[in-house]
């Protein structure tokens, strides 16, 4: 599955637009990570536990995006965008969306 944040896939020609596809995941903070984050706020530095949590969340959302695109026959997704929002205290959503297309080689 080709994924592009542009409206095109370089070197490919879009032959069919199949519509909007999306993927999301909602994750909650981990108490152990919160303790370490509190210490980092005092001393400074990267919150590696949260960095890892966000990376895992993005990967999961992208996998769900690709599964939805494959289910409707796409071989590429263009104009991909990410969004995040707070769902509840300590829980956030990572949302990714784009346009499912069929591309062919030029």
Decide: 75 and 103 in contact? Cβ < 8 Å.
yes
pLDDT of residue 86: 82
Predicted confidence band of residue 30 (pLDDT cuts 50, 70, 90): low
Judge whether residue 37 has pLDDT over 60. Answer: no
pTM of the model: 0.82
Kindly report the average pLDDT of the chain as a whole number.
Answer: 86
Distance CA 51, CA 64 (A): 20
Higher pLDDT, 16 or 92: 16
Over residues 41-92, the pLDDT tens digits come to 666 677 677 778 888 999 999 999 999 999 999 999 999 999 998 887 777 8
Higher pLDDT, 45 or 38: 45
**CA 70 to the chain's CA centroid:** 16
- Which residues, in sequence order, are bridge partners of residue 83? 95
pLDDT of residue 99: 98
């Amino acid at each position: 599955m080709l994924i592009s944040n542009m409206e095109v896939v370089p070197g490919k020609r879009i032959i069919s637009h199949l519509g909007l596809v999306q993927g999301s995941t909602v994750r909650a903070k981990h108490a152990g990570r919160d303790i370490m984050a509190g210490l980092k706020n005092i001393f400074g530095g990267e919150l590696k536990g949260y960095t890892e949590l966000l990376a895992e969340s993005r990967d999961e959302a992208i996998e769900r995006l690709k599964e939805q695109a494959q289910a409707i026959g796409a071989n590429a997704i263009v104009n991909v965008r990410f969004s995040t929002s707070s769902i509840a205290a300590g829980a956030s959503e990572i949302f990714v969306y784009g346009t499912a297309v069929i591309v062919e080689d030029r």
